[in-house]
Structure 1
Amino acid sequence: MNKGTVTQTGRNKERENDPFTSIEDRLKPLLLSMKIMGIYFDPTQAKNKVEPSETYASKTNPPGWWRSINRLYCYTVLLLLWFNFGRCAVGVFPLDEGLPLRIILTTWVLLCALSAAIIVAACQKLTHFRSFYKHWDSVFQCPSTNNMGCGSKFPAQYLKLGTATGWFLGTFNVAALCTIMFYDLPISPVYLKAFARPFPESKWVIIFNIVLHMFQSGVWLFPIIFISIIARVIRAQFLQLAKILSRQIQEADGHFPDQLTELRFHYTQLCQAVDIVNRSFKWLLGVRFILDIFLACFVCYQIINGPLDIFVIAVNVFWLGGSVMCTLVSAMCSSGVHDAAHSLLDDIFSIGTQDVTVEQLGQLNLFLSKLTGTSVGFTAIDFFVITKEFILTLSGLFMTYFFLLLQFKIA
């Protein structure tokens, strides 16, 4: 007995001595990559007139002048992205053989500019990312959370893999453009003309476009990785809560679980975290779905009805694969949050009610109404919650469109 008490006391002391790592610090490799690409700055900067979080002290607190430079850098990149979209929009016409490529390029540039604007706005507004970080850390610094066994879980391996994948694909995208621009390939004249319009095809214009293409590649990839990592973090906590609830129901053996009130409160806190981060993600996901689906459909049309040149087909397949993968990854990760949040419903129905009190029955009804009420998950501009059914519907529509195009081509 004394030995067990000493062991438990030692564990408590280790837990007290172990400093809490905020989710913002855990996301540091990805957030640093986004800062390099000019689409993220620290939401706690001095200009926002917000004190550091009362629940934790960040390990890395850069000086105020550095945060101001980072913020100015992000707004400069955003201005360049919108300038590039205006340039591409002006140079879309006339109607010639390069029009499909210019439409694809203009749509992609618009997608990057809108994505960057949404993320920069979310960094500036204190009710978005800053509020999510503070809320999440306050939930998992609460002693009752650790006592229930609902400690914070973070997919560090997925973070490293996602960040490395973003850099690899971004580098590949820029290297492919440099190869097309500086080597005499069959498609090089068309691409040179499309990327330079309405300016002359000079060396400095090409270099300027390659530099912008580097930033646009980061804006295209890293927001999807950011959404995926946050979705996996939230999903892991919901699944962990479901396991704890299932174990407590089995241990109760037909009686009411002792910690159901605390578990319900923790579930409510997780749902609130989803609502907070969805303030930014709903716009980002909505814009990505609309423009990525348009790109996929238009590129698919070009593959079937366009020229049968191997280089043109390779480029179009890359565009199609990128649009489809970005849509699938964001939709699957978002639907995983919805499925995990509602995975507790079966366990709630199996709770025993022997010797249950009126207060306990009220807690059970509140928990049940939360699970069966409004769907919990990420949305697309608040139009609908992203679920697995949405992925199935989207896949069916795209396959129908593809086979209709193929049928018209054969006819």
Structure 2
Amino acid sequence: MFRNPNSPVFRPRTFAQAGREREDFWSDDGQGTSPSYVTTNTGSNEIGNQIKHSKNISGSLITMGAFPSRKQRNVMEESFRPILIVMSAFGLLFPSGDGGQEDNNCRKYRCRKTMFLKFYTSLVVVLVWSAFVRYVIGVVVGDIVPTHITTAISVGVWYFQSASNAAICLYYSCKSHRLLLFFHNWQTCWQDSLYNTDAELKFPRSWIKKRVCVMLFLSITFVVVATAYPAVGRYGSNEALRNETFFVTSRTLGSSADPFFIVLHCYAVGAWVFPVVPFIIICSVLSRQFEKVTKKLEASIDYTGRMTYSLQTLRRQHQFLCQAVNEADDIFSFFILVTLSSSFVLVCFLLHQILNGSGTIALMGIAWFVANTINIAVICWFTASLHEKAHSPFRYLHNISVLPGKDQHLQLMLFLSKLQGECIGFTMWGILVPTKEFIIAVLGAFVTYFSLIAQIF
């Protein structure tokens, strides 16, 4: 049974009344606060069944994509809202068109707005991919003349990576608005869980907002600088820099087409950098929550090995976080595969360009080499950190003393089997989890392939 916190009377209610109170509760509370559950001594089993049934209904609505209205927006979505707005502005995301309890005029306006954003997002993806195709064809037919073959390959790989990121964002926006759906499922399985009653394990809203703003500022700064680079090269007086900005030129169309290609380059930079921001923040929050569960487990084991806190509750909290990781992995797994594989190739060619270039050529190569190296390091580090924090309870479970055959013994075995099973974390399209061992292997492969490229070119 659900209760309205503003109601002074708490009495058993029917399921229909409980559902109406739940709707009123969520419409009154725009912060996404978890509803409270109150039972009485009489009819507790019936009320418990109503709670379970209502949770299943709400979960089904979320699975079908029935998101709350703007007034009922999810607290997690609100925390990520700045980066979602910027991604929408760059044509990387479009929101749900569900109007909730709004009137017909507002619903029609939101529907038209959503249709426009869908068209805009699709147009951006087509333009970014056309920039990649145009570059490849221009290099082949001689319309674009790069300074060196390694430079041509580096720019082509970078355009491919940006176009792939834009296509991935469009795919998951069209697929039941997967990123927004993840936010709601995350809150449902974790924030609103009956097992999550600890205030310190709740969603760190202010903590996320600060980091979203910082990451967004750095990303926008990078986009501005990366866009100003070809603009200054084309319209500046530095001849060496002008030769380095060959990718925004066209012999056939002439200099009149340069502004259009510079705008395309700006969208490509946005598609390259902005998808990394929600990935970093989500990884950080999940790692932070896993770490708090582990600390709670460590503090609950006394010197005799007995648990002073419910092991079932901790196991369920860990399981809910694992569900959130699986939801997020469905979104980011292919993005991780494309980014790591293409950035690895790009870094090898950029390093060769730095060692064989001079002046402005080497300077620009160093800048892009550092940017791509940071991109690889950030993705690998956060995925490895998430994997380590998710498996960190394992080293404390062996310190627990339980009697065989008891419920606590069963909970311990279930917890151990979960941690000893498949790896928990983000994957490269389901192939493998980038762990710390994977980072060392990548470094060794980088040395090998760079030596091969240096011998060929």
- Structure 2-normalised TM-score? 0.76
* Distance change >3 Å, CA 281–CA 302, structure 1 → 2: same
C-alpha contact 1:149 1:244 (8 A) present in aligned 2: no
1:264-311 Cα deviation digits (max 9, x unpaired): 112111111111111121100100011111110011112223x32x11
* Distance change >3 Å, CA 180–CA 327, structure 1 → 2: same
Residue 87 (str. 1) matches residue 137 (str. 2) = no
Q: Which of these residues, 339, 357, 377, is aligned with residue 425 of structure 2?
A: 377
Which residue number corresponds to residue 19 of structure 1? Answer: 31
Q: Which of these residues, 83, 89, 93, is aligned with residue 36 of structure 1?
A: 89
Residue 297 (str. 1) matches residue 382 (str. 2) = no
Which residue number corresponds to residue 165 of structure 2? Answer: 115
Q: Which moved more, 1:78-87 or 1:134-143?
A: 134-143
Instruction: Give 1:116 shift.
Output: 0.8
1:100-151 Cα deviation digits (max 9, x unpaired): 3332222111110101111111121128324321211112023431347421
Which residue number corresponds to residue 201 of structure 1? Answer: 254
Q: Distance in 1 between matches of 2:321 and 2:385?
A: 14
Which residue number corresponds to residue 76 of structure 1? Answer: 123
C-alpha contact 2:121 2:170 (8 A) present in aligned 1: yes
1:38-76 Cα deviation digits (max 9, x unpaired): 10111x334xxxx969xxxxxxxx823222222221111
Instruction: Give 1:19 shift.
Output: 3.0
Query: For 1:70, what is the secondary structure of its paired residue?
Result: helix
Instruction: Give 1:380 shift.
Output: 0.9
Q: Which amino acid aligns with 1:64?
A: C
Q: Distance in 2 between matches of 1:329 and 1:124?
A: 27
Q: Which moved more, 1:324-333 or 1:396-405?
A: 396-405
Which residue number corresponds to residue 4 of structure 1? Answer: none
* Distance change >3 Å, CA 18–CA 146, structure 1 → 2: farther
Which residue number corresponds to residue 103 of structure 1? Answer: 153
Q: Distance in 2 between matches of 1:198 and 1:341?
A: 54
Q: Distance in 2 between matches of 1:277 and 1:264?
A: 20
Q: Which moved more, 1:179-188 or 1:213-222?
A: 179-188
Q: Which moved more, 1:272-281 or 1:387-396?
A: 387-396
Instruction: Give 1:348 shift.
Output: 1.1
Query: For 1:92, what is the secondary structure of its paired residue?
Result: helix
Residue 234 (str. 1) matches residue 234 (str. 2) = no
* Structure 2: segments with no counterpart, 5+ residues: 1-27, 33-73, 102-108
Residue 264 (str. 1) matches residue 311 (str. 2) = no
Equivalent runs, 1:295-334 vs 2, <5 Å: 295-305=346-356, 307-308=357-358, 310-334=359-383
C-alpha contact 2:280 2:379 (8 A) present in aligned 1: yes
Q: Distance in 1 between matches of 2:161 and 2:452?
A: 27
* Distance change >3 Å, CA 245–CA 298, structure 1 → 2: same
Q: Which amino acid aligns with 1:282?
A: S
1:236-266 Cα deviation digits (max 9, x unpaired): 110111111111123x843244411121112
Equivalent runs, 1:344-363 vs 2, <5 Å: 344-353=393-402, 355=403, 357-363=405-411
Which residue number corresponds to residue 174 of structure 2? Answer: 124
Instruction: Give 1:397 shift.
Output: 2.8
Residue 166 (str. 1) matches residue 213 (str. 2) = no
Residue 396 (str. 1) matches residue 454 (str. 2) = no
Residue 367 (str. 1) matches residue 418 (str. 2) = no
Which residue number corresponds to residue 336 of structure 2? Answer: 285
Which residue number corresponds to residue 38 of structure 2? Answer: none
* Structure 1: segments with no counterpart, 5+ residues: 1-15, 54-61
Q: Which amino acid aligns with 2:166?
A: A
Instruction: Give 1:18 shift.
Output: 8.2
C-alpha contact 1:256 1:351 (8 A) present in aligned 2: yes
1:333-392 Cα deviation digits (max 9, x unpaired): 111110110111111111122x56532211110110001110000111222111111112
Identity of paired residues, percent? 24
Which residue number corresponds to residue 225 of structure 1? Answer: 277
Instruction: Give 1:321 shift.
Output: 1.0
Which residue number corresponds to residue 267 of structure 2? Answer: 215
C-alpha contact 1:297 1:398 (8 A) present in aligned 2: yes
* Distance change >3 Å, CA 392–CA 65, structure 1 → 2: same
Q: Distance in 2 between matches of 1:226 and 1:321?
A: 21
C-alpha contact 1:193 1:201 (8 A) present in aligned 2: no
C-alpha contact 2:31 2:75 (8 A) present in aligned 1: no
Q: How many residues align?
A: 376
Q: Distance in 2 between matches of 1:347 and 1:233?
A: 22
C-alpha contact 1:37 1:218 (8 A) present in aligned 2: yes
| Structure having greater relative contact order (Cα 8 Å, sep ≥ 6) | 1
Q: Distance in 1 between matches of 2:225 and 2:151?
A: 19
Q: Distance in 1 between matches of 2:275 and 2:150?
A: 26
Which residue number corresponds to residue 57 of structure 1? Answer: none
Instruction: Give 1:156 shift.
Output: 2.7
Which residue number corresponds to residue 178 of structure 1? Answer: 231
C-alpha contact 2:241 2:360 (8 A) present in aligned 1: no
Q: Distance in 1 between matches of 2:247 and 2:127?
A: 18
C-alpha contact 2:172 2:331 (8 A) present in aligned 1: yes
Q: Which amino acid aligns with 1:174?
A: T
Q: Distance in 2 between matches of 1:112 and 1:258?
A: 48
C-alpha contact 1:282 1:378 (8 A) present in aligned 2: yes
C-alpha contact 2:300 2:307 (8 A) present in aligned 1: no
Q: Distance in 2 between matches of 1:399 and 1:103?
A: 19
